């Protein structure tokens, strides 16, 4: 086993473990912190794939901005959102069986796929060139439309947030 | 390659020959050198902090018309070592109801994220941790991780003051990141690369001459990101005691202390690399040690400026701080970015003097326009005086026949 494989397995365990912890943590603030660990693991995955730009952007955007905003929103709310009582449904085993079937089916389908057994080769140095990425984002033949659509979505969210928070004239203080 | 010209690579080469002589494989030698380099690069800043604490206290003392530390050793230079030994012996107290894991992880994140930045700063033309092609974004990303450390400290301490400090961390650091990222694009645009060494290498004319306004805005946002006075609202002692680190004691507090002092010198290094040409100077390419000396001199000047501002300007009110960022710095940095991008393409790179003159003119116009707009707005939005201040701080009943006082 190579060192990269070992790091990959360790990271995978951390990502999956903390992802489970996100949904099973009793305090929502703990869930948010576990989410940070999950996203950090994904950043390590990007670094393992030798895509250092995406690794750093993952940390900057998902941990530096989004997770901090989630934590901030939780901190601002008065209730601490502690989950009481049982966390499992009475018939949880039905869901477990269903999941197992889907998982086995997925593995079966994927193993029939010829790309499954192809070993990946390292990308050439030009493939990680940021200028290419930037040009692709504004190229009409490449990703211009999805890029612009996602920015419109963000602007819509921003306008919505401002509209919700805005004080109107007739409002009670 | 002689020892005097390039000591670090000289020692590295010597170590490689010695290890090869002992029969180590090339990859093992690589790993050993990496471990030694990483160890030194993270230990160096920590040891430097001991000196920095003395420097800051001494300079601060002079600014405030007192002597500063002056008992232990010549000019009190041993004082921080004594303080450090004392902090080692202090008890580590965990408050009741604290969230243990975030509470204990926070100091490590806060100090670690600063040291991690040192990995991408080119200390000389041949000496740097790694020359990754995304150094500038890397610095921002680790700044964000440090923020997370402060938030976790505020959150996990089970203390209202600490929680308020945590709120202010988000308000302060997250909002000043916006103009900072915008302005960071200016040196990136000039050099055509995000790597810190490439940015330093490309500065035949220092970026501060090409983009003076961008340099000033970046300097302000650096101070704000480090939560130094006048932006030190997250640990405003007179309002929220000490903010996020109020419950910490002993070595855990020491970590925050180290992070705080290290932040400003790291900021000075980043600023020197991005805008003052980094290690560039006469003879720096042939004698890398000269480049290191140039970088230290530049960083020291910036560091002194940060200290000067810290000890001269009183703290902002929180609404002033927020409106300064969102209503002044962010629009201005957008304008600076767009203007610089346009002029950078319009004026060819080989006409250096013309380029500098055009850039200065554009920056001056932008600055005067921003100044005029701010003056108008401030005049329009004068804060109304609610009441006349009372001449003496005493209840109104004092000295009367009122049963409530006298």
The answer to whether A64 contacts B170, with C-beta atoms less than 8 Å apart, is no
Reply yes or no on whether the pLDDT at B192 is more than 60.
yes
Q: Left (φ > 0), alpha (ψ -120 to 50) or beta: where does B291 sit?
A: alpha
Q: Between helices B288-312 and B7-21, what is the axis angle to 10°?
A: 130
Nearest to B289 by CA among B401, B123, B81, B132: B123
Pull the structure tokens for residue B77.
Answer: 């230079």
Residues 6+ apart with CB under 8 A from B124: B6, B8, B279, B284, B288, B289, B291, B292, B295
Instruction: Taking residues A91-103, report their average pLDDT.
Output: 91
Instruction: Taking residues B331-359, report their average pLDDT.
Output: 82
Q: Does B155 touch chain A (CB under 8 A)?
A: yes
- Write out chain B residues lying below 8 Å of A128, CB-based: 133
Q: Does B108 touch chain A (CB under 8 A)?
A: no
Q: Does B166 touch chain A (CB under 8 A)?
A: yes
- Write out chain B residues lying below 8 Å of A53, CB-based: 133-134, 137
pLDDT at A4: 79
Nearest chain B alpha carbon to A32? B152
Q: What is the ipTM of this complex?
A: 0.71
Please tell me the distance from the alpha carbon of residue B250 to that of residue B47, in angstroms, as a whole number.
Answer: 18
Residue B389: band (very low, low, confident or very high) from pLDDT cuts 50, 70, 90: low
Identity of the residue in B102, B142, B163 whose CB atom sits nearest the CB atom of A33: B102
- Write out chain A residues lying below 8 Å of B132, CB-based: 52
pLDDT digits (tens, 9 = 90+) for B243-293: 788 888 888 888 888 888 888 888 898 999 888 887 877 777 777 778 888
Reply yes or no on whether the pLDDT at A116 is more than 80.
no
pLDDT at B44: 85
Distance of residue A61 Cα from the nearest chain B Cα, in angstroms: 8
Q: Does B140 touch chain A (CB under 8 A)?
A: yes
Residues 6+ apart with CB under 8 A from B60: B68, B307, B310, B311
Identity of the residue in B137, B151, B163 whose CB atom sits nearest the CB atom of A60: B137
Rounded to a whole number of angstroms, the distance between the first and last alpha carbons of chain B is 85
Share of chain B above pLDDT 90, in %: 2
Q: Helix H segments across A25-129?
A: 28-48, 52-57, 68-76, 92-112
pLDDT at A152: 93
Mean pLDDT of chain B: 82
Residue B356: band (very low, low, confident or very high) from pLDDT cuts 50, 70, 90: confident
Residue-level length of chain A: 173
Residue B155 CB burial class (10 angstroms; 0-12, 13-18, ≥19): buried
Please tell me the distance from the alpha carbon of residue B24 to that of residue A3, in angstroms, as a whole number.
Answer: 19
Which one-letter DSSP state was computed for residue A27? B
The answer to whether B170 contacts A52, with C-beta atoms less than 8 Å apart, is no
Share of chain B above pLDDT 70, in %: 93
């Amino acid at each position: 086993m190579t060192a990269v494989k070992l790091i990959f397995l360790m990271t995978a365990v951390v990502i999956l473990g903390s992802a489970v912890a996100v949904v099973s943590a009793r305090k929502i603030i703990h869930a948010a912190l576990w989410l940070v660990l999950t996203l950090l693991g994904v950043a390590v995955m990007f670094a393992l794939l030798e895509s250092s730009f995406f690794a750093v952007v993952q940390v900057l955007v998902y941990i530096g901005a989004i997770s901090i905003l989630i934590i901030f929103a939780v901190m601002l709310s008065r209730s601490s959102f502690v989950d009481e009582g049982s966390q499992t449904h009475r018939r949880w085993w039905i869901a477990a069986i269903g999941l197992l079937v889907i998982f086995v089916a997925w593995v079966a389908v994927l193993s029939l796929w010829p790309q499954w057994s192809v070993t990946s080769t390292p990308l050439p140095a030009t493939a990680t060139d940021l200028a290419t990425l930037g040009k692709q984002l504004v190229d009409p033949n490449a990703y211009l439309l999805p890029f612009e659509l996602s920015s419109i979505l963000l602007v819509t969210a921003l306008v919505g947030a401002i509209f919700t928070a805005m004080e109107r004239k007739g409002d009670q203080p | 390659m002689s020892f005097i010209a390039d000591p670090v690579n000289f020692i590295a080469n010597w170590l490689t020959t010695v290890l090869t002589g002992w029969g180590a494989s090339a990859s093992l030698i690589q790993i050993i050198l990496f471990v030694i380099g990483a160890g030194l690069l993270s230990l160096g800043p920590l040891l430097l902090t001991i000196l920095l604490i003395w420097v800051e206290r001494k300079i601060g003392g002079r600014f405030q018309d007192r002597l500063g530390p002056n008992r232990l050793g010549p000019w009190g230079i041993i004082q921080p070592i004594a303080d450090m030994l004392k902090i080692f012996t202090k008890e580590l107290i965990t408050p009741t109801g604290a969230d243990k894991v975030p509470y204990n992880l926070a100091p490590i994140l806060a100090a670690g994220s600063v040291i991690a930045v040192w990995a991408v700063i080119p200390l000389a033309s041949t000496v740097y941790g790694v020359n990754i092609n995304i150094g500038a974004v890397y610095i921002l990303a680790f700044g964000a991780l440090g923020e997370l450390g402060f938030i976790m400290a505020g959150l996990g301490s089970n203390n209202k003051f600490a929680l308020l400090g945590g709120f202010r961390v988000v308000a302060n650091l997250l909002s000043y990141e916006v103009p900072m990222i915008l302005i960071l694009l200016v040196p990136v645009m000039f050099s055509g690369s995000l790597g810190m060494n490439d940015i330093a290498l490309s500065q035949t004319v220092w970026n501060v001459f090409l983009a003076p306004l961008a340099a000033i805005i970046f300097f302000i946002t650096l101070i704000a990101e480090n939560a130094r006075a006048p932006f030190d609202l997250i640990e405003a002692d007179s309002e929220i005691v000490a903010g996020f680190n109020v419950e910490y004691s002993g070595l855990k507090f020491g970590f925050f202390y180290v992070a705080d002092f290290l932040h400003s010198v790291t900021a000075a290094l980043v600023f020197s690399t991005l805008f003052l040409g980094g290690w560039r100077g006469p003879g720096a390419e042939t004698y890398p040690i000269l480049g290191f000396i140039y970088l230290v001199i530049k960083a020291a000047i910036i560091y002194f400026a940060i200290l000067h501002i810290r000890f001269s300007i009183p703290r902002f009110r929180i609404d002033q701080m927020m409106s300064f960022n969102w209503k002044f710095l962010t629009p201005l940095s957008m304008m600076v970015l767009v203007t610089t991008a346009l002029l950078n393409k319009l004026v060819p790179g080989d006409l250096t003097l013309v380029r500098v003159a055009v850039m200065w003119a554009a920056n001056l116009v932008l600055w005067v326009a921003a100044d005029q707009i701010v003056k108008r707005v401030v005049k329009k939005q004068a804060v109304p005086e609610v009441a006349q201040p009372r001449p003496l701080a005493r209840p109104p009943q004092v000295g009367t026949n009122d049963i409530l006082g006298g």
